Structure formats: C-alpha cells, structure tokens
Chain A
Amino acid sequence: MASGKAFAHHHILGMEQFSREDISHILATADSFKEISTRSIKKVPTLRGHTVINLFFEPSTRTRLSFEVAAKRMSADTFNISPTTSSTTKGETLADTARNISAMHPDIIIIRHPCSGAPLLLTRYVQAAVINAGDGAHEHPSQGLLDLMTVKEHRTTLSGLKVAIVGDIAHSRVARSNITGFTRMGSAVYVYGPATLIPKGIDQLGATLCGSLEEAVRDADVVMTLRIQRERQNDPLLPSLREYARQFSISQRILELARPDAIVMHPGPVNRGVELPPEVADGPQSVILDQVTNGVAVRMALLYLVMGTA
C-alpha cells in the first residue's frame, strides 16, 4: 500500500496489522487533528450522525475518556457500556452482547477486554468497525500510535532511535504494540525487567532483551516504563513494590546514562515512586502529559480513518 490517501483497514485490532506507510499515514492524520483540540470551539462536524459505542469489559478511566473526547470532538454520538451496566454478569456471551449491539447499527465499536483476542472475536458478529482499546496482554494499538506520535514530536524522526522499555513486559499489551510499532518504523527496542516479568521469546517480536537496567537505558533516546503489579492471580511476581523501586525504577542516576535529550514515557497511571520517582515522572525529560494530549488526536484520526473505509 502506497502512502496515499487509501486506508485499507476496516478494523483496528493491533499494531501488527500496520505497515510503515499505514503508521505514517495515521500519524500525519493525527497531526492534522491535533490543532482542533487547541481551538476555543473544539468540535468539527466530521462524524456527525455516526454512532460510537465504548464497550469496556475492564475498568479504564483514561482510555475510555480519551476515546470519548475524541469521538465528541468529531461530533459523533457516543455511548458507554461497561461490565457493570452490560449483561455479561448474567452469563451473556460476547457473541450475544455483540449481536445485540450490532442490531442497533453502530458505526464504530471500541472494545477493551481482559481476554487477548476478544476484539477479533467481536469482528465476527458485527458490521461496525472495531477498534481495540486494549485486549489482555495482546495489543493496545492506539496507545502504541500515540507513543509513536509523541516520540516523533520530540525527535522529528522515528527511525534509528534506541527505545528502552522497562518493567512488566509479560503482562503488557502496551509493550507488544510498542515493540511492533517502533521496530516497524526502523528503531531498535531494548527491553528489561525482572525475569519474572519477561515473557519467553520476546526477542522473536523484534526486541533485544537486556541483562541490566544500565544496558537498556545507556544512550537511549526514549525510556519507557510500564505499570507494575506485584501479584496476579496468586502468581508471586515480585517480593514487594518497595524492592522493585530500589532495583528496577528509572532513577535520576539511571536516566543520566541515556542521551541527555532522552524523553521519559509511561502509559499511565504511574505508580509514583515505583516505576518512576516523582522527580523523574514530573521532571523536564518527562513527556507523560504530551502522551495524554496526543492520545486524543490519534484516536480522532483512527475514528476518521475507519469511517473513510466503510
């Protein structure tokens, strides 16, 4: 696919589906939408009359809000369905829920689900465009795209960079989307974390596994940390968050190993003092709030692009 106007994707399930040209096209589109959010009247009529459903099977304030803001700035009608208000607790299957929603003829369904692969399953039952807002430990493509957009703003290029991703790689959909995204754009991704949080075969996704935090961060252009959970379903991953903070967090001292103009990223919400000490999270190299701002622009772009293919 050439880098022209055409966008061949009806559904957005993962970074995996995008070529380098696709990504450039999405980022350019997002760039053009970013300005809208700085106007006094932050609304364009582009998606007027379109229905967007936020189908969130997992609690998420930030991502849901970001998609909702994006949809409303495009003048779409948005509706939120979350597990407590939907009927999945009564034993309704995803297929049932999907068929019911589909019968109301939405244009776009944005799905967040704790099970990897659920968005793909959803596409079997609906006509609407499906956008994956995070599925299990699989993918979170809009997060990956907003991270690329943020890095591009601060580095002007997405090729030839060293990107360090530190923390819980095993359970992170953000890590997978970013490994795919950055490597596809021509940057090198280095991952590091406690061995309990590094999945088997991560190198086969294109990342380089480091033996130490120093190795991961040294001369990096981008230092990205991921949110940590001490335990998941009785799986003892870490002795304590305190120890994690002392052994694995990006301290100012560690950050000095990176390039002087390196940027610090985190998909949020940050466990302050765990993944990042406050002085780094709020320091001059942190672009965490830029990520949030760009999230709206990227999501506006995705809504626009999938509607262009209907």
Chain B
Amino acid sequence: MSASWCIKNGRIIDPANKIDRIGDLLVLDGCIANPKQPIPPGVPEIDAQGLWVVPGLIDMHVHLREPGEEYKEDILSGARAAASGGFTGMACMPNTKPINDCAAVTAMIVARAAEAAIRVYPVGAISLGCEGKQLAEFGEMREAGVVAVSDDGRPVRDSQLMRRALEYASDFGLPVISHSEEASLSSGVMHEGPVATRLGLKGIPAAAETIMVYREIALAELTGAQVHIAHVSTAMAVELIRAAKGRGVRVTAETAPHYFTLTDEAVAGYDTNAKMNPPLRSAADREAIKQALADGTIDAIATDHAPHSILEKEVEFDLAANGIIGLETALPLTLALVRDHVIDERRLVELLAVMPATILGLAKGTLHPGAVADITLIDPQRQFAYSADQVVSKSRNSPFLDWILQGRAVLTMVGGAIRHNLSV
C-alpha cells in the first residue's frame, strides 16, 4: 500500500489553517505535502469530487471494553468501527477490567493498539480502581501514553480528591475529564420529568449534572487547572460553562450526538437502547445543547461509544446497562446539524477534529503541510440505512438502528494508509 496520494478536486475544510477551498491535497510518504509541491509521477489519485476533505476525526470519549469485556468490543473491533465512522483517532476511557489506573495497563492498551486501524489514545484513571480514594500515578501513566485522566462512569465524589487531581494533573499537562454527576441524586434510570412519571421509572434530575459541573468549575477556578466536562446533557450545565468561560476559567466541554438528536421521549416503550448516563433530557435541554455547539460553549462532540451485548440490554429497563454505541453514527448525526443550519461545515470540523485534538494536546486536527496524513473524506449526501447487519462494532446497542442516515465517511486515512474506503 502506497503512503502517497493525490486527493483530487475535493472541498478541503481545514479550520486550523482557515482553509475552505476546492482543490487537490497531496500526501507524500504519509504526510501532508506543501500545496506548491509538484506531484511526483506515479502517485495514485483519489477522486474527491463532491467530497469534503477534512482532518481526521477524533473521538475523545469511547469505551473499548478491552481488557476484560472483549465480548462487547475490543480495541481492534472498536478501531474498525471508528474507521468506518470517519475517525482516525480516539481516546479510550479507563473503566476496563482491570481499570487503566497504572502504567502496566496503559502499556498493554498501547501495545494492542499498535495493530489497530486507527490511533488509540488511552485515558488513565484519576483514582486507583476509580474508587475515588487514592490518586493514580499520573506521571508514570503519561510516560506510558495516557493523554488525560478521568474516572468516567464513577464520578469523583470527594471534592478534595478532585482538587488534588486537578492540581497534580497540571504538573504533567494532563487534562482532567469529569463525568459530572452528583451520585446521591443519580440513582434513577432516566431523565426526571413527565416522561419518567408516565413510564413509572425513577428519574435523574438535571440538577445532578448542574451541581457537579459547578463544583468542577469552582475547582478549576481555584486551582487554575484545566478541566474538561464530559457528555454535557443539560441546559443548566451549558449556562454554567458559558459563564465560566466568560470569566476565563480553563474549562472545556463535550457533548454526544444523542444529546442533540434525541430527548427522553425516546425511552417510551422501555427501549434500553435509549438508556445511558447522563440520560436523554428534555426538548429544552436539547435546544440548549445545539445552541452551545453553535456558539462555542461546547467545544467538542464525542460519542461516549459504550458497547453492550444483549445480555446487558435485553432485560428490564431498570436492570439494563447504561450506554450506546456511537462511532458509526456520530458523523451523520452531526451533519444533520449542518443541514438544519445549527452549525456550518467549518464548525463541524472543529467539533469533531480540531477541538478534540486541542483539548487532549495532540498535534492533530490539521491539514498543515508536514502534518501526518490523518484525513477523512466525507460524502455529505450519501444516505445509508443503519441496520443491525451493517454495524461494524461487536455490539449493536444503538437507538439509531434502522434510521436512514445522511452523510458518511467514505474514506479514512491514517498516516497515509487507507483504513476505510467506500469510494475508491
């Protein structure tokens, strides 16, 4: 396989370099070439007519289930799903079995990821065993390859520990990713509101998120450290983040496609594929999330890809595991925002590529000459039915099954190597 390509006649959207033009992009030996460079003879061409050529998408929040629950997903299968969804990199959360709370586990993930279709950036735990008691060794984990720390799924209850985590992580330039949920308010199974009342399901109030987001902002303000709020789901959290950014707090935020696409009404019929944490919220929350994506309050879109098998999902709603897969649907669902004029094309690329790279401190999200050629080609028109037999992930727990989706990654290139290709 050649590591040199001439991507012809595509619409190159590269917000990091303020570029949005129709033209050719030359890749030589796995890196982006200078546009003035003449095309050497023999370089194969990729016809990108009608396609968008963008820096490779990066999903900063996935669960790959390896080690420990490989029947749901593993690093290689997750990477295949990611590549087919247009991602060239992804950050995997530490809540595996065992938990990624030490350099040995990080090293194991990095070694497995060497064979993966795309780049895998491990996230280390904040606390040993994600138990919220004792800090994990951030320094050693960073040397082994972690790009951030998080106790995702098990929010840090102890505010003092969170403060120390923020301070200590800043010594190593690691962002702290907060799953912001006040645990004592979060024993429910869906958003608290009229739909939960009708279904007789226990609710999780929006306030559970609000309280913890405010704590994280207060601690970031106190310590001067960088905090990143994962999967923002509520209007109140958006408001707090907007105000904090306004006064210069080092806070960034992500949301997931389901929070700007669905509401708690999706739970009707007790669909366990609409059960996740935080839960799907109200229509007003969804509108606030969209607004925040448009105005920059929310910096990134991440999938929170959380594979589960039917063992965890074909059960009573109360007993079902939280989470849905998302790697293969994130791009089309975000493209719907462009079609609805919520965001423009450039903003889409910022949300899915530029900002995840920036927040995690990766030299990615750019098509600058000399950069490694991680590139995604998007056909914004191409429609496909996301049916169960088409799912690339090992698990099929998606509320978007059988949706007709529009817009798709047709080619995913990692370091000049084609990892997914529908067009050529």
Which residues on A are within 8 Å of B, measured CB to CB? Answer: 93-95, 113-118, 120-121, 135-139, 173, 176, 199-202, 204-205, 233, 235
**A95-B196 CB under 8 A given contacts A116-B270, A137-B201:** no
B18 sits at the interface (CB 8 A): no
Contacts of B270 in A (CB 8 A): 116-117, 120-121
Contacts of B201 in A (CB 8 A): 116-117, 136-138
Q: How far is the CA of A136 from the CA of B188 in the complex (A)?
A: 13
B192 sits at the interface (CB 8 A): yes
Contacts of B203 in A (CB 8 A): 199-200
Contacts of A136 in B (CB 8 A): 200-201, 318
**A115-B194 CB under 8 A given contacts A136-B200, A136-B201:** no
Partner of A116, one of B193, B194, B200, B315: B200
Query: Which of A135, A200, A204, A235 has the most chain B CB atoms closer than 10 A to its own CB?
Result: A200
CB distance from B388 to the nearest CB of A (A): 16
CB distance from A201 to the nearest CB of B (A): 3
5 A-B pairs (CB sep. < 8 Å): A116-B270, A117-B317, A135-B200, A176-B198, A200-B203
Which residues on B are within 8 Å of A, measured CB to CB? Answer: 187, 192-203, 269-270, 311, 314-319
B200 touches A137 (CB 8 A): yes
**A204-B200 CB under 8 A given contacts A113-B316, A115-B317, A121-B316:** no
- Which residue of chain A has its CB nearest to the CB of B270? A117
- Which residue of chain A has its CB nearest to the CB of B201? A116
Query: Which of A113, A138, A233 has the most chain B CB atoms closer than 10 A to its own CB?
Result: A138
Q: How far is the CA of A201 from the CA of B318 in the complex (A)?
A: 20
Contacts of A137 in B (CB 8 A): 200-202
**A138-B194 CB under 8 A given contacts A113-B316, A116-B317:** no
CB distance from A20 to the nearest CB of B (A): 19
Query: Which of B200, B201, B269, B317 has the most chain A CB atoms closer than 10 A to its own CB?
Result: B200
Q: How far is the CA of A134 from the CA of B29 in the complex (A)?
A: 66
Query: Which of B197, B202, B319 has the most chain A CB atoms closer than 10 A to its own CB?
Result: B197
A200 touches B194 (CB 8 A): yes
A138 touches B316 (CB 8 A): no
CB distance from A37 to the nearest CB of B (A): 31
Contacts of A205 in B (CB 8 A): 194, 197-198
B315 touches A94 (CB 8 A): yes
Q: How far is the CA of A222 from the CA of B269 in the complex (A)?
A: 32
Partner of A201, one of B197, B269, B311, B314: B197
Contacts of B318 in A (CB 8 A): 114-116, 136
B197 touches A199 (CB 8 A): yes
**A233-B314 CB under 8 A given contacts A116-B200, A199-B197, A200-B193:** no
CB distance from A197 to the nearest CB of B (A): 12
Contacts of B193 in A (CB 8 A): 200-201
- Which residue of chain B has its CB nearest to the CB of A95? B314
**A93-B315 CB under 8 A given contacts A120-B269, A201-B193:** yes
**A199-B196 CB under 8 A given contacts A93-B314, A120-B270:** yes
Q: A116-B201, A117-B199 are in contact. List 16 more A-B contacts (CB 8 A).
A: A93-B311, A94-B316, A95-B314, A115-B317, A116-B270, A116-B317, A121-B270, A121-B315, A136-B200, A136-B201, A199-B196, A200-B194, A200-B196, A201-B194, A202-B197, A235-B187
